[in-house]
Structure 1
Amino acid sequence: MSAPTGLWPGLPADDAVRAPRRTPPSARPSERTWSERLAEAVDAVDAPDAVFAVSRYGRRILRSGGTAPPPAVPRPDLRYELGSVSKTFTALVLAQLIRRGTLTGGEPAVTCLRPDRAPGASPVTLAHLVTHTSGLPALPADFFVRALPAWRTGPYARYPGPRVVDAFLRHRPRHRPGTRWHYSNFGVAVLGHAVAAATRTPWEELLDEHVLGPLALGSTGTRPGGPGGDAVGHGKDGRTPVPPFDAGGFQAAGAVRAAPHDLLTFLEAHLDPLGAPPTDALLSVRTPVLRRGLGHRHVHTVGWFRHPTDRGPMYFHSGATLGQQAFLGFRPDTGTALAALCTRRFRARDPFVATAYALLAEE
């Protein structure tokens, strides 16, 4: 794994942020073509409810449908569970706190959570947690034992915040922090608790203050029952409804719910950081911070996966809960943002992520 010195280095030349181009190139797909492509994507995912929403240089197109009868509230107006896509919101919170000077990113998580404990020679820092280089596993060692009785209804709800913190304080990493990349819900959950403890501010308030408020995301939050109503998730069969997702102590890793238009607003801010309130933080989370894999082909920013295309990089993140899936992505080179949502649990050879990824990558 290769990572630059410091958490947020200067932007590389191939991802420089310039004044946004307001006029799309003449070669872009027509609005009708995009409408057809989104409608085809909705059909392809074969879910009870699906919404595919795209923004091209600020022009939005949404298409929805599904195998279930239309809900009382139109599908584009419902809030959907984002699962791990929530991590992109968490990354922006941390970036904003760092840009404001509240934190540095180099704080040992153990010191944030327990100021009386010595951090040790190689502590896990906030930067390690947000970049999945902490050495923590995907989930705590005892997670499955505690979650098994509610595996189909609410496994995360059985693992509250204090237990997440306790599991972290007891854990002994197998690898020195910062040396290996391993995707970890556990790590990002700990990050949320550490940041809340360091700032003496509940996680929900940090999210509201640093992301939802500045970007005016009024239909986004972490609890069910928000404005407009919430979409109902379904099991793998696409018919059996499942309860609303309860993230338990993993709020920072997967608790966010949002409506499609809010998600496009969130993505448009990443496309045009110079025009959004947390400008420096938005610039930060677009910056590559580590490379891994054979030939360092896998590139990661703070919060986003970054893949190359023929014309420039694309940024994306997917997520899933017990009964819903989400995919967010954006491409600065084409001024395109994509939000895709569906109400069916992930299954083997599921077409949802592949369909959404292809729409953005082949655009």
Structure 2
Amino acid sequence: MTAGALPWPGGPLDLTDVLPPDVPQAEDDVRVRRLLKAAVEAVDAPDVVFALSRDGRRTVRTGGTAPPPPVPRERSRYELGSASKTFTGLLLAHLTHTGLLSGGEPAAALLNTARRPGEHPVTLAHLITHTSGLPALPADFFVRALPEWRTNSYARYPAERVVDAFLRHRQHRRPGTRWHYSNFGVAVLGHALAAATATPWDDLLTGQVLGPLGLSATTLAPGGPDTDATGHRKDGTTPVPPLTVGGFQAAGAVRATPHDLLTFLEAHLDPADRPLTGALRAVRRPVLRRGLGHRHVHTVAWFRHPTERGPMYFHGGATLGQQAFLGFRPDTGTALAAMCTRRFRARDAFIPTAYALLAEM
């Protein structure tokens, strides 16, 4: 699961063929296919998928350095890593919109009803916006994860340890005063939401988000080689085991097919007359600005960057063997889901290529 914002203003993909707004649909479709082909070819990974929805018309292009797998790439499930947080953010927005929660509840009091909130408690809103003051990972995470650091580091840190580490954590900074990306914080949020609703996390997310949006090919656990894509190390040839997230479900457990991801993103493009309409609208509203000139804008689920015609929303993610990028642009009716099966490397082309493609569409 990656940490931090995605700073790239562009990438290696040559997008000089981008479409003006008055191009006929047939020509638009041809150029979209050409751009997706170029994007796939720019990424050096065993399996690559770029899935685009433009005004409701879907185009999926696949490729990669490895032979085609037994399950077609466009039908496989891919690990989203930190892009799973967009599902968690939408769930919190939905629970808030329906009045079950306010977002201002102290997380510790939900996880331990005998706990009295302090003067400046960490709230659910702090956890989803990475302003809780928590570190990226618990202090003892690395020691426990070391034996499986290259294969399945999160699996050695179960839910009860995540909760216990949070309840024992001593704040060094007042919540809400500093932004610091934290897988730990979003994991705690998931456990707090489960406690507040008396519902296990898998059932909560499935019942409140995946089911209503019709995401039947999206899961929260490995499904096996007949359904899931296989990740690889940096060398692009050594396979890695499927991700097991331990107690970090809310921060990185989602795995999904390209078409399910487009369904998820299309709901964000046009929330009207859909399940979760209020929440889908809420996750597009800025809630935090940071950095020089407050240029970095965040919602409760997405990073938001400006373009010439309107904002684009996006989130990336990476696991030990896969990468993902999700994004959408309401101004152009465009949604993009991109995946590849190779661990992130320095100067990796995948995220910059996906970002540039969405920014120019």
Instruction: Give TM class, smaller chain.
Output: over 0.9
Aligned to 2:239: 241
Is 1:166 matched with 2:164? Answer: yes
Q: 2:165 is aligned with what amino acid?
A: A
> What is the DSSP-based 3-state SS (H/G/I as helix, E as strand, rest coil) of the residue aligned with 1:53?
strand
Whether the 8 Å contact between 1:219 and 1:227 is mirrored in structure 2 is no
RMSD: 1.3
Aligned to 2:286: 288
2:295 to 294, 297, 305: 297
Aligned to 1:5: none
Equivalent-residue separation in structure 1 for 2:338 and 2:61 (angstroms): 10
Is 1:26 matched with 2:22? Answer: yes
Equivalent-residue separation in structure 2 for 1:285 and 1:226 (angstroms): 32
Q: 1:73 is aligned with what amino acid?
A: V
Give TM-score scaled by structure 2 length. 0.92
Aligned to 2:8: none
Whether the 8 Å contact between 1:289 and 1:302 is mirrored in structure 2 is yes
Aligned to 1:134: 132
1:353 to 345, 351, 354: 351
Listed one character per residue, the Cα deviations across residues 29-70 of structure 1 (whole Å, up to 9, x for unaligned) are 711111111111111111000100000010000000110110
Q: 2:259 is aligned with what amino acid?
A: H
Aligned to 1:84: 82
Equivalent-residue separation in structure 2 for 1:173 and 1:187 (angstroms): 13
28-37 vs 77-86, which deviates more? 28-37
Q: Structure 2: which 5+ residue stretches go unaligned?
A: 1-19
After the TM superposition, which segments of 4 or more aligned residues of structure 1 sit over 2 Å from their partners?
Answer: 24-29
Q: Structure 1: which 5+ residue stretches go unaligned?
A: 1-23
Listed one character per residue, the Cα deviations across residues 139-168 of structure 1 (whole Å, up to 9, x for unaligned) are 011111110110011100000000000100
> What is the DSSP-based 3-state SS (H/G/I as helix, E as strand, rest coil) of the residue aligned with 2:287?
strand
Equivalent-residue separation in structure 2 for 1:34 and 1:101 (angstroms): 42
Listed one character per residue, the Cα deviations across residues 288-311 of structure 1 (whole Å, up to 9, x for unaligned) are 001001110000001100000010
Aligned to 1:260: 258
Equivalent-residue separation in structure 1 for 2:178 and 2:113 (angstroms): 27
Equivalent-residue separation in structure 1 for 2:335 and 2:224 (angstroms): 24
Aligned to 2:33: 35
Aligned to 2:205: 207
Give TM-score scaled by structure 1 length. 0.92
Equivalent-residue separation in structure 1 for 2:110 and 2:341 (angstroms): 37
Equivalent-residue separation in structure 1 for 2:254 and 2:276 (angstroms): 19
1:93 to 91, 94, 110: 91
Once the 2 structures are TM-superposed, how far is the Cα of residue 226 of structure 1 from its aligned partner? 6.9
Aligned to 1:121: 119
Whether the 8 Å contact between 1:79 and 1:259 is mirrored in structure 2 is yes
- When the two structures are aligned, how many residues end up with a matched partner? 340
Identity of aligned residues (%): 74
